[in-house]
Structure 1
C-alpha cells in the first residue's frame, strides 16, 4: 500500500502547493506558451496520480484484477506493492476515485457537447449573415477556404474574432476595416489565427470541464483561470512577433475602446489595458537555459508520478 499512499499524497501536494507557487511566478507572463506547458504538465500529473491510485486500489479490492495486472511480472513484484489483505481500504479508495473519474468524464462530455452546440449555432448564424458564394464562383478559392475563411460582416462596431473547429472562420466587421490600419488588421488576424492553429479551444474546454466537475479543487479552477489568460497572451505574442509589439498594442486598444476585451473572449477574462502595457513594456524573454530548465521541471512532474508508481516493482528486482 506504500505506492498507493504515496500517489495520493503526491497528488494532494501537486494540487495544493504547486498551483500557488505557479500562480505567483512572474516569468509566466513573459513566457505564456511555456506557462501553458507547465500548467498542463501539472494537471496531467494530478490526473495520473488519481488514475494510478484507482488502478492500485481496484487491484487491492479485486484479487482477480490483481492476478491479471501482475500476471507477467517477475517474482516478488506483486508482494512489493503490499496489496494483499487490503481489500477494505482498496474498496473505499477505489469507490471514491472511480466516482471522481466518472464525474470527470461526465463534465468533459457536457462541456464538449455544449461547446459544439454553441459553435454550430455561431456557424449557422454567421452563414445566415454572410452566406457562402456559389461553388461556380468560388471554386478557384477552394484550396484556400479549406485552410481558413475570412468573413467580413457589416457592423459599425470594430470587432474581430475566430470560430474554431471544422471549417474555421476568421471574422472581422466593416467597423474594424475602417478603424484599423492594414498592419493593425494583419496583427488582429494573426492573433485570432494563433488561437485556431494552436487549438486553444480544446485546452479551454478541458480546463472548464475539470473546474466544473470539481469546483472545490483549487488546481482545476486555477488551471481554468490561467488558461483563459495565457492563451490570449500567447496569441498576442504571436501577432507581435510578426507585426511588431507597438502595432499589436495599438490594434488591441483600438478594438477594445469601451469593451476591455480583445477578440471573442468572455468579458473579464483578459483585460486589454494590462495586455497593452505588457506589449509596450517589451520585457525580454527568458534565456534559453532558463526555458530549458523550466521545461525539464514541468515534464518531471508527470514523470515523478510514473516513477513513484513503479518504484516498489523496480526495487523488488534488485
Structure 2
C-alpha cells in the first residue's frame, strides 16, 4: 500500500490545522517551555512527513519499509543490501527525502551562522564603547534608554545600559540578569535558528510562520519563568515596565521590546501552577510527535 496520500494528509493537518489550534489555546502561555518544544516537534514531524511522502511518490509501488532500509544502507547503517543496482525511481526515493531534510538543516545552520557573525561584530563594537562591570558580570553601554539584552553563543555577553543601572533597584537588576542568563544557558538562539530555517524552506506554510512567531514569545516567557524562581512577580514586572521601550539588536534577546506588555500581563495576572502530570504529558507529546509520520506510513500490522 502506498502511504503518500496518508502522509500528505497528515502533513496538511500538521502544517495548517494544528498551528491554528495551538495559537487559540491558553496552555502554551501557561507552560512556555513545553509549548516551545511542541512547536519544534511539529516542524520536525512536518519535515519527516514531507520527506517520506516524497520517497513514496518516487516509488509508488514499493512499501515504505524498503525505502527506509535503502536509506539506512545509503547512510552506511545495517547490513549491505544484496539487491541489484537501484533504478532511477529508487535513487529518487533516496534523494528526495534527503534533499528535504538537508534543506531544512542547512537553512537552520545558515541562519545560525549568519546571526553568529552579526553578534560577533556587535561584540567587537561593545569592546570599544562598553565598560565591563565585574560586580554584575555585564557590559555597561552608554545609552539614555533603560535596557538590557544578551548576545548568546560563543563568548556570550550580557549588556545593560547605564540608564538601567541608575534606574533599577538591585533586586530588579537581579531579575533582569536572571532573565538574560536563562536565554544564554538555554541556548535559545539555536532553537530560534531552527524555526527560521524551517520557515526559509516552507515560507508560506502557517506552521512555519506561527512557529517562528510563537517560539520567540514562548522563549521570552520561559526566561521570565526562570527569573521568577528567585525573584517576585512584582519586581520582574516593574523592571520589564521600566525597559519596555528598549529594543534588542539583531541576534540578541532583550527583557523589554514588543512582547513586554503581553509578558507583563502574564506575570501579574492570575497564576495557576501547571500540574506535573500535565508538564510530563506535554514533554511526552513533544517526543512522540516527530515519530507520528512513521506510524502513518507504516501502521502496525503492515
- What interval of TM-score do these two structures reach, taking the shorter chain for normalisation? 0.7 to 0.9
Tell me: CA distance 1:66–1:167, structure 2 relative to 1, closer, same or farther (3 Å): closer
Q: How does 1:135-150 map to 2 (within 5 A)?
A: 149-150=137-138
The count of corresponding residues between Structure 1 and Structure 2 is 289
The equivalent residue for 1:301 is: 289
Tell me: CA distance 1:231–1:308, structure 2 relative to 1, closer, same or farther (3 Å): same
* Preserved contact between residue 228 and residue 269 of structure 1 (Cα < 8 Å): no
Where 2:273 maps in the other structure, the secondary structure is coil
Where 2:138 maps in the other structure, the secondary structure is strand
CA distance in 2, matches of 1:248, 1:28: 20
The equivalent residue for 1:23 is: 23
Q: How far 1:14 moved relative to its partner?
A: 1.2
CA distance in 1, matches of 2:248, 2:241: 9
* Preserved contact between residue 149 and residue 158 of structure 2 (Cα < 8 Å): yes
The equivalent residue for 1:138 is: none
The equivalent residue for 1:315 is: 301
* Preserved contact between residue 54 and residue 98 of structure 1 (Cα < 8 Å): no
Q: How far 1:160 moved relative to its partner?
A: 0.8
The equivalent residue for 2:225 is: 237
What TM-score do you get using the length of structure 2 for normalisation?
0.80
Q: How does 1:194-273 map to 2 (within 5 A)?
A: 194-256=182-244, 258-259=245-246, 264-265=252-253, 270-273=258-261
Tell me: CA distance 1:107–1:61, structure 2 relative to 1, closer, same or farther (3 Å): farther
Q: When you count helix as a share of all residues, which structure comes out higher?
A: 1
The equivalent residue for 2:164 is: 176
Gapped regions of structure 2 (runs ≥ 5): none
Q: How far 1:102 moved relative to its partner?
A: 5.5
Structure 1, residues 232-273: CA drift from partner, whole Å, max 9, x if none?
A: 1111111122111110001101112x4488995589974322
CA distance in 2, matches of 1:269, 1:51: 37
What TM-score do you get using the length of structure 1 for normalisation?
0.77
* Preserved contact between residue 150 and residue 180 of structure 2 (Cα < 8 Å): yes
CA distance in 2, matches of 1:68, 1:29: 41
The equivalent residue for 1:137 is: none
